[in-house]
Amino acid sequence: MAITLFILFVAFVLGLSIYLGRQTKSASGYFAAGGTVPWEVNGIAFAGDYLSAASFLGICGMIATVGYDGFLYSIGYLAGWVVALFIVAEPMKRLGKYTFTDAVDSKYNSRGIQLAAAISTLIVSIFYLIPQMVGAGVLVTPLLGLPHAVGVIMVGAIVIFIVATAGMKSTTWVQFIKGALLIVCSFALVVMVCIRGFSTTPDQSGNNEFYQYKTLKATERDGKLIPDDDHYVTAVEESKSATYYKLDKERKLGRNADGTWSYTMLRGRVVPLDGFETRLLTFMLDKNLESDEINGLRFIKRNGDLFAVTSFWWKREGNDAEGRVILKEMASVTVRADGTRMINGLPAQPNQQLQVGSLTKIAGKEGKEAETGAVGPFKFLAILSDPETKVQRWKQEMSFTSGGYSVTLFGPTITDGNRIMRPGLKYKVEGTWFERLDFISLMLALFLGTAALPHILIRYYTVPSPAAARKSTILAIAAIGFFYILTLYMGLGAMINSVIDPTDNNMSGPLLARSFNPILFAIISAIAFATVLGTVSGLIVAASGAVAHDLLDRFYALQLNDRQKVVIGKAAAFTVGLVAIILGIVFKGMNVSFLVGLAFAVAASANLPAIVMLLFWKRTTAKGIVASIIVGILSAVGLILFSPEMYVQYGLSPKQAPVPFNNPGIISIPLSFITLVVVSLVTSKDGTAEAQARKTST
Amino acid sequence: MLHEPAAKSEHDPAASYKTRLGVWMFMVYSVVYAGFVAINLMKPALMEKRVIFGLNLAVVYGFFLIIAALLMALVYNRFCTRQETALKISSEPRPPSHEPLPSAASKETR
């Protein structure tokens, strides 16, 4: 049912795209929807464009894992619209034709600006495309049970199809539908989170038994660890600060009345063998084998009895008062060479994730007494802000190979509610100067980045007038602002309801929906998928516009007719789509909102100084604009490539990174402004807009 | 044709007024936004302080930044629309009765 809903939704989007595509014949229609879109539709389409994978997947995921620090992105993204509305919206509409390059070059007719602005559009679009594609890959795994790469390729192929068949008009309508649906469904999800309230043993409205990680004691004799309850050590792994043990335990298999098999876990949970396991167990019995391993689960036959051997990983946590060793169960994901996975020692279904995150105390209370039932929206946040509310957050502690399996272990840390609900867990506002600089840099890039995003800027050309541009921006602010307030509730809802996948927090929002109802999950996932489709479509239109219109038509002056220009635009869309697919696979696992933050920094560094100075400083010259765009791109991209987070991506230690912070904006944005001013002053003799105009008139 | 705007816009006599207003409102919002960043850097513990309805300063300030953006946008739109209407009237042929023009318009056309 869930998959059918998902496929129907995607089919509807594609059908709409084909229908609208038949109406698009001209370049104006392809790149700017003929400038005929009503401002009300454009406003919600703005929201659809802007509420990308970063907003729904990334922000929710980040809030779910680091609390308020994720909400900083919501605040910054929304604040960026103030810059867009007050400074950029109407002047851009008056200056431009189809693209960002048109606007920046409108007073100069400079080949340098045409080239630099087109390259900038391409680079920013690709930077923004990466997180969207990562988000697409993340979505399909729990819904369809497909690998990450398949999701990325699927989105890439569908979007290339949409853009290549239709252009701006279809992307506008796709954005409109998706933007509206996303806001409505997110609101419904937040209402459900508040109605569910708080519990220290969240069982997802009875849908999923809460997994209580256990504590076990052991005796140490002659350097050997002998755990209680018939467990025995089969492997030991040591990190710099901790020792981890793999403990096996044999569990007797019983035959049920209906002929199926099952075994019983430590706390009495009965685990049935699925059909595949049963068939292989039958095979083992038929062949009279003494032992066999099936789906990562080992079976042993001894004295006529059958046993299933389960393996769990435990962390040594010191000793109790009697000197006995305390072992804490770890959350674990084990992947075999053939790709089959086990979660917490048991075979996993293809679309099953490890899910963690809960409260150990609610405003100082524990157990049944702590359960709140439905709470209001303010009470919800107030309870979480309480210092006596304790949040159990899970982090990856170790990853290694054991017995031919790749094992990743996750351990909990307890954080007080008051620390969750203010900045500091990701962005160290009380840390070193560089860490504080990283925070300022992020907030600066988010504030200034929105107004410099090419796919947002081109939307100003789809409406008929500057006033319509203004009104659609205001409607977008209302819709986006409301959604961003919802992100705080969705992220925190995921944090407390044991739905976070610690291997990839991007899915926290959709998995929160799954904790209520699989149908809601399918709807939310389909919308999120359409979110990715819509944003990627918008970005690819912007990028293809840069190639076909800015580079070929204007920079190379190829005298293309309308039809040729649209054909080249579509070919460019195909190429950019392919690049995005590859990068989406490479960057798997990174938080998509963090990646979008980097795209904002590149946009704010490369484009914003040019736009702002062009509008407000008469001595701005063409060479100044070119220099500022180039310096902005190079400095922002350069700083990102040598940042700690990228070093992790390269497989190196983040401490080796020569740049001590992740967000480049604090350096690259001022640098780009300074470059523009200095170069403009040096070249002001004949390079200003007035001088260019005089030249043109003589 | 390809270098023409996707939709041609008419001359906008209110443009300079709207630009000035936009810059002022941008500066006001920037100060409020900078205040949020500054408190986080200088007095981060202050963000834990409960302000209203049990909500701490971090949440209240964050929501305020979002709501303030919308309210300022609405105010901006109201002023811009009023100016556009006024200047549109002033640029049209005067009616025989010569009714007085709105004050904002006369200021702009001076």
B42 at the A interface (CB within 8 A)?
Answer: no
Q: Closest CB to B66: pick one of A83, A463, A485.
A: A485
Lookup: tokens for A653: 């230690």
Model confidence at A318, pLDDT cuts 50, 70, 90, reads confident
Q: Cα torsion for B18, B20, B26, B27, to the nearest 10°?
A: -160
Contacts of A75 in chain B (CB under 8 A): 36, 62, 65-66
- Under a CB-based contact definition with an 8 Å cutoff, are residues A555 and A137 in contact? no
Within 10 angstroms of residue A433's Cβ, the number of other Cβ atoms is 9
Model confidence at B103, pLDDT cuts 50, 70, 90, reads very low
Q: Cα torsion for A511, A80, B13, A37, to the nearest 10°?
A: -20
Residue A167 to residue A32: CA distance in whole angstroms: 8
A14-28, A427-441, A577-591: range with lowest mean pLDDT: A14-28
Q: Closest CB to A82: pick one of B29, B56, B57.
A: B29
Q: Which residues of B69-93 are buried (b: 16+ CB within 10 A; e: fewer)?
A: bbebbeebbebbeebbebbeebeee
A126-135, A340-349, A508-517: range with lowest mean pLDDT: A340-349
For residue A97, which of A32, A141, A190 has the smallest C-alpha distance?
Answer: A32
B75 at the A interface (CB within 8 A)?
Answer: no
- Residues contacting residue A141 through CB under 8 Å, at least 6 positions apart: A147, A148, A151, A351, A353, A507
pLDDT value of residue A44: 76
pLDDT value of residue A190: 95
Tell me A698's DSSP state: -
Residue A383, CB-side half-sphere exposure with 13 Å CA sphere: 25
Question: Which chain A residue is nearest to residue B22, measuring alpha carbons?
Answer: A86
A27-41, A47-61, A210-224: range with lowest mean pLDDT: A27-41
Which H or E run contains A313?
A: strand A305-319
Check CB contact under 8 Å for A33 and B4. no
* Tens digit of each residue's pLDDT (9 = 90 or more) over A353-401: 788 888 999 988 888 888 888 999 999 999 999 999 999 999 888 888 8
Where in the sequence of chain A do the CATH 1.20.1730.10 domains occur?
2-20+37-200+423-697
The whole-angstrom distance between B66's CA and the closest CA on chain A is 6
B18 at the A interface (CB within 8 A)?
Answer: yes
pLDDT value of residue B99: 45
Residue A25 has pLDDT above 60, yes or no: no
Model confidence at B109, pLDDT cuts 50, 70, 90, reads very low
* Tens digit of each residue's pLDDT (9 = 90 or more) over A211-232: 888 888 888 888 788 888 778 8
Higher pLDDT, A686 or A72: A72
- Under a CB-based contact definition with an 8 Å cutoff, are residues A587 and A649 in contact? yes
B78 at the A interface (CB within 8 A)?
Answer: no
A154 pairs with which residues across the strands? none
Mean pLDDT of chain B: 76
pLDDT value of residue A223: 79
* Tens digit of each residue's pLDDT (9 = 90 or more) over A95-144: 756 567 777 777 787 888 888 888 888 888 888 888 888 877 777 776 67
Check CB contact under 8 Å for A82 and B66. no
pLDDT value of residue A168: 56
Within 10 angstroms of residue A288's Cβ, the number of other Cβ atoms is 7
Interface test with B, best of A25, A59, A75, A439 (most B CBs within 10 A): A75
User: If you average pLDDT over residues A165-190, what whole number do you get?
Assistant: 77
B51 at the A interface (CB within 8 A)?
Answer: no
Residue A330 to residue A397: CA distance in whole angstroms: 9
pLDDT value of residue A100: 72
Q: What is the complex's ipTM, to 2 decimals?
A: 0.80
User: If you average pLDDT over residues A260-282, what whole number do you get?
Assistant: 69
Residue A166 to residue A433: CA distance in whole angstroms: 49
Check CB contact under 8 Å for B7 and A562. no
Residue B30 to residue A345: CA distance in whole angstroms: 52
pLDDT value of residue A65: 92
Report the alpha-carbon angle A102-A562-A39, nearest 5.
55
Check CB contact under 8 Å for B26 and A82. yes
* Tens digit of each residue's pLDDT (9 = 90 or more) over A520-538: 888 888 887 777 777 777 7
Which H or E run contains A3?
A: helix A2-21
Residue A29 has pLDDT above 70, yes or no: no
Identify residue A439 by its one-letter amino acid code.
F
Q: In this prediction, what percent of chain A has a pLDDT beyond 90? A: 17
Higher pLDDT, A545 or A110: A110
Could you name the CATH architecture of A2-20+37-200+423-697? Up-down Bundle (1.20)
Q: How many CB pairs under 8 A join A and B?
A: 170
Residue B3 has pLDDT above 90, yes or no: no
Tell me A365's DSSP state: B
pLDDT value of residue A148: 76
User: If you average pLDDT over residues A272-280, what whole number do you get?
Assistant: 65
Block residue for tokens 């049912």: A1
- Residues contacting residue A676 through CB under 8 Å, at least 6 positions apart: A609, A610, A613, A620, A624, A625, A627, A628
Q: Closest CB to B6: pick one of A35, A379, A484.
A: A35
Q: Closest CB to B33: pick one of A36, A447, A565.
A: A447
Residue A666 has pLDDT above 70, yes or no: yes
Tell me A320's DSSP state: -
A359 pairs with which residues across the strands? A391
Model confidence at B110, pLDDT cuts 50, 70, 90, reads very low
3-state SS, A376-387, equals CHHHHHHHHHCC
Q: In this prediction, what percent of chain A has a pLDDT beyond 70? A: 84
Which H or E run contains A411?
A: strand A405-416
* Tens digit of each residue's pLDDT (9 = 90 or more) over A417-447: 999 999 988 888 887 888 888 889 989 988 9
User: If you average pLDDT over residues A270-299, what whole number do you get?
Assistant: 68
Q: Closest CB to A378: pick one of B33, B53, B81.
A: B53
The whole-angstrom distance between A565's CA and the closest CA on chain B is 9
Higher pLDDT, A614 or A26: A614
Contacts of B55 in chain A (CB under 8 A): 378, 381-382, 385
Check CB contact under 8 Å for A385 and B6. no
Higher pLDDT, B103 or A485: A485
User: If you average pLDDT over residues A16-22, what whole number do you get?
Assistant: 66
